[in-house]
């Protein structure tokens, strides 16, 4: 296959998969992946490494309606760390999920009490201690806990800390819970809005689910409705519905918990509208089936569904307006919309649905629900012909009429002076119109090597939409790698709006002859074999001169100093002109310090450190040197 043809195929196929992968637009909610959550918990129940995992697994599986066996009580007692408040919290919560599992209260009393009394306890530790106290039947001092939470709120205002404060308030008395329930709206305003359709908190699904669960718990304990705008609640639900898989047991547990709160008919409940029938509408599948449920997939009660409109995506033409759907189930969970009609042309359509519940229900998400469908048709290949002609058109072309799905039995022989041309049309059987398809290819297959060469069939402009493929054996010889021999040819057709794809073998015996020597096929398997290991080699150290050379150069460097000492010994020292006093002494000390600094620069210091020290030494050196020179000049004037 040529690289150009291959890329064309990829670009043609990708839009098909991208559309098919999305059955509804992003505004719709999706039912919770309860099977995935249950499987995650059941897998975790086979082995535990810590008591926290045990807690989240047992509590999560119980939220899904499965009662864990009491045999896990021994695991709880074995895994709990009696000196750690978080471990105690997980142990008491895990034990609460079992029908008969009592933990020894006195083993945990001291740690729980010290945590509640300590000024260093964090908000999460306060929550762990309060929950453990409630689970173990210990009394708590609400006044001191409330005071401690108020102090922590001033030093730690993170969203997770505020969530633990809500959970703690839900464990205390109703007045305290009511105080924290009044702060829910402020916490909702701190959520991050994504694309105008979802709300979440920093920290991901685990943190967001914990916070929303805390909203429900503290409101339930306060005996008041949760103070959150329905649109904001729907955005939280939209975020949770996108989480098909979660990484941790903690996130899975809180996600399961929040799904139950959002699906409780005592609370404001988001409605989930999904298409349960295939997206392709045809004579065999003429209706659209729509499911109406909560996030757990349960019915929401008696409700009516109306298709406000069904618009074609290409041009916005409305084909259905104000049509009521028919309930197909006694619990009003599935509705049917007849859609297939000879007047509705093939294409992609978006159906806008509006839901109206019976009575004053607490349902949200009743409008702006959309379903995507496509009307397909059956195609027919007509006016297909295969012709062989000279490249310069000097001789009359040989044309062969083809009929789908028959295979041409006559042998075709072509050499490098000729070309092969395929023409055909595709007709919509329902409307009788000639149509275009997204994929139309002519494929040659070498019968010996099974190598495939694919060419794109292009449609001509106009209403007839005739497709044409022209293969010149001279200009396209490189595609075949000049390999003469027997080939077969097949036509490949595909489209999202066609009920069936086509792979029509046109001729099973086409003999091609090229004038140049054949080239060997590229072994594409070599692209995936391991390459030789690249071993990095650092640059080798430069070769240093022999030690003798270094010693010689060092001796030459010290030679002027040696000459100075010899001349001093021979000529003698003259120290009579050296003035005495503080300035000469300071000058020589400063001068010596400069030489000492040079030594330190050579051994220890870098350039910038040396310059900094030299700037300090140069100040006394300049002052004392100036005074010494002034003293010597004054002596010369006096002698003169």
CA dihedral 102, 110, 175, 255 (to 10 degrees): -60
How high is the pLDDT of residue 3? Answer: 41
Residues 98 and 232 in one domain: yes
369: tokens are 């629900």
Enumerate residue ranges in the chain where pLDDT < 70.
1-27, 360, 523-525, 573-577, 640
Residue that finishes a domain, picked among 482, 512, 542: 512
Residue that finishes a domain, picked among 375, 406, 427: 375
Flag whether 529 is in a domain. no
Residues 185 and 227 in one domain: yes
Provide DSSP, 547-567: HHHHHHHHHHHHHHHHHHHHH
CA–CA separation, 37 and 31 (whole Å): 12
Flag whether 504 is in a domain. yes
Written in H, E and C, the secondary structure of 179-216 is: HHHCCHHHHHHCCEEECCCEEECCCCHHHHHHHHHHHH
Residues 303 and 225 in one domain: no
Flag whether 558 is in a domain. no
Residues 116 and 239 in one domain: yes
Listed in sequence order, the residues at least 6 apart from 285 whose beta carbon sits closer than 8 Å to its beta carbon are: 277, 278, 340
How high is the pLDDT of residue 25? Answer: 33
Domain range for 602 is: 568-632
Residues 139 and 262 in one domain: yes
Residues 411 and 435 in one domain: yes
pLDDT digits (tens, 9 = 90+) for 571-617: 876 666 677 788 888 888 998 999 899 989 988 999 999 999 999 99
Burial class (CB in 10 A: 0-12, 13-18, 19+), 200: buried
CA dihedral 252, 256, 259, 265 (to 10 degrees): -170
Residue that finishes a domain, picked among 232, 267, 302: 267
CA–CA separation, 584 and 393 (whole Å): 111
- List the one residue out of 185, 145, 140 whose CA is nearest residue 165: 145
Number of neighbours of residue 273 by Cβ within 10 angstroms? 23
Question: Is the separation of the CB atoms in 293 and 300 below 8 Å?
Answer: yes
DSSP-derived letter for residue 276 is: -
Q: Does the pTM exceed 0.85?
A: no
| CATH number of the domain bearing residue 245 | 1.50.10
How high is the pLDDT of residue 449? Answer: 87
- What residue has token string 């909203």? 215
Flag whether 539 is in a domain. no
How high is the pLDDT of residue 354? Answer: 94
| CATH number of the domain bearing residue 361 | 2.60.40.1220
Residues 508 and 619 in one domain: no
DSSP-derived letter for residue 296 is: T
Question: Is the separation of the CB atoms in 481 and 517 below 8 Å?
Answer: no
**Phi, psi dihedrals of residue 67, rounded to the nearest 5°:** -85, 115
386: tokens are 């295969």
Number of neighbours of residue 404 by Cβ within 10 angstroms? 14
pLDDT digits (tens, 9 = 90+) for 472-531: 999 999 999 899 999 999 999 999 999 989 999 999 999 999 988 777 777 666 778 888
Residues 84 and 222 in one domain: yes
CA–CA separation, 400 and 512 (whole Å): 17
Flag whether 526 is in a domain. no
Reading across the β-sheet that carries 347-357, which strands appear in turn? 280-281, 369-375, 347-357, 303-312, 318-324
How high is the pLDDT of residue 525? Answer: 66
Residues 57 and 200 in one domain: yes
CA dihedral 455, 460, 461, 464 (to 10 degrees): -130
How high is the pLDDT of residue 640? Answer: 66
* Sign of the dihedral defined by the CA atoms of residues 21, 26, 29, 34, in that order: positive
Residues 243 and 320 in one domain: no
Q: Which phi-psi region, left, alpha or beta, contains residue 285 (left: φ > 0; alpha: ψ -120 to 50)? A: beta
133: tokens are 């106290």
Flag whether 638 is in a domain. no
DSSP H/E element including 371: strand 369-375
Domain count of the fold of the chain: 4
Provide DSSP, 331-356: TS-EEEEE---TTS-SEEEEEEEEEE
| CATH number of the domain bearing residue 384 | 2.70.50.30
Flag whether 470 is in a domain. yes
Residues 324 and 388 in one domain: no
312: tokens are 């074609």
Flag whether 525 is in a domain. no
Residues 254 and 286 in one domain: no
Helices (H) and strands (E) in the chain, counts: 17, 23
* Sign of the dihedral defined by the CA atoms of residues 66, 70, 74, 77, in that order: positive
């Amino acid at each position: 296959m040529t690289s150009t043809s291959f890329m064309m195929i990829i670009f043609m196929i990708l839009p098909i998969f991208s559309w098919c992968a999305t059955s509804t637009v992003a505004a719709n909610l999706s039912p919770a992946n309860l099977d995935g959550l249950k499987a995650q918990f059941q897998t975790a129940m086979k082995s535990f490494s810590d008591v926290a995992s045990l807690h989240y697994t047992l509590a999560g599986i119980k939220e899904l309606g499965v009662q864990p066996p009491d045999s896990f009580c021994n695991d709880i007692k074995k895994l709990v760390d009696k000196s750690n408040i978080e471990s105690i919290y997980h142990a008491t919560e895990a034990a609460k999920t079992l029908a008969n599992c009592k933990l020894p209260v006195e083993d945990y009393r001291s740690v729980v009490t010290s945590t509640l009394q300590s000024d260093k306890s964090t908000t999460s530790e306060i929550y762990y201690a309060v929950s453990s106290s409630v689970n173990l039947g210990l009394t708590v001092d609400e006044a001191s806990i409330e005071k401690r939470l108020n102090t922590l709120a001033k030093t730690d205002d993170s969203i997770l800390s505020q969530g633990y404060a809500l959970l703690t308030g839900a464990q205390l008395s109703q007045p305290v819970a009511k105080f924290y329930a009044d702060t829910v709206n402020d916490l909702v305003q701190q959520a991050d809005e994504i694309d105008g359709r979802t709300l979440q908190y920093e920290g991901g699904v685990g943190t967001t689910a914990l916070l929303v669960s805390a909203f429900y718990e503290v409101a339930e304990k306060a005996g008041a409705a949760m103070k959150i705008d329905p649109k904001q609640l729907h955005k939280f639900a939209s975020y949770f519905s996108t989480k098909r898989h979660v990484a941790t047991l903690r996130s899975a547990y809180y996600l399961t918990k929040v799904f139950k709160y959002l699906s409780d008919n005592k609370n404001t409940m988001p409605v989930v509208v999904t298409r349960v029938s295939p997206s392709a509408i045809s004579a065999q599948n003429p209706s659209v089936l729509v499911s109406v449920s909560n996030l757990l997939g349960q019915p929401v009660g008696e409700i009516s569904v109306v298709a406000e409109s069904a618009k074609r995506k290409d041009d916005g033409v409305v084909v259905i307006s104000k049509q009521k759907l028919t309930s197909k189930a006694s619990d009003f969970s599935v509705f049917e919309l007849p859609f297939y009609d000879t007047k509705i042309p093939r294409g992609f359509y978006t159906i806008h649905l509006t839901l109206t519940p019976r009575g004053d229900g607490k349902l949200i998400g009743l409008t702006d629900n959309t379903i995507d469908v496509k009307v397909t048709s059956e195609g027919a290949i007509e006016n297909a012909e295969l012709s062989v002609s000279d490249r310069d058109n000097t001789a009359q072309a040989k044309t062969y009429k083809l009929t789908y799905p028959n295979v041409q039995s006559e042998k075709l022989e072509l050499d490098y002076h000729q070309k092969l041309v395929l023409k055909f049309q595709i007709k919509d059987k329902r409307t009788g119109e000639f149509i275009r398809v997204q994929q139309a290819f002519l494929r040659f297959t070498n019968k010996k090597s099974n190598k495939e060469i694919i060419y794109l069939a292009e449609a001509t402009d106009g209403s007839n939409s005739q497709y044409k493929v022209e293969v010149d054996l001279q200009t396209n010889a490189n595609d075949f790698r000049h390999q003469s021999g027997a080939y077969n040819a097949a036509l490949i057709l595909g489209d999202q709006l066609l009920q069936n794809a086509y792979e029509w073998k046109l001729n099973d015996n086409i003999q091609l002859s090229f004038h140049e020597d054949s080239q060997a096929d590229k072994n594409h398997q070599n692209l995936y074999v391991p390459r030789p290991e690249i071993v990095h080699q650092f640059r080798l150290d430069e070769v240093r001169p022999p030690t003798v050379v270094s010693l010689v150069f060092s001796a030459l460097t010290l030679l002027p100093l040696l000459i100075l000492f010899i001349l001093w010994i021979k000529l003698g020292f003259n120290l009579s002109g050296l003035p005495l006093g503080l300035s000469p002494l300071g000058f020589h000390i400063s001068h010596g310090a400069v030489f000492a600094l040079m030594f330190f620069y050579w051994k220890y210091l870098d350039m910038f450190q040396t310059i900094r020290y030299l700037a300090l030494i140069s100040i006394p050196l300049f002052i004392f040197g100036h005074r010494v020179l002034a003293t010597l000049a004054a002596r010369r004037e006096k002698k003169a």
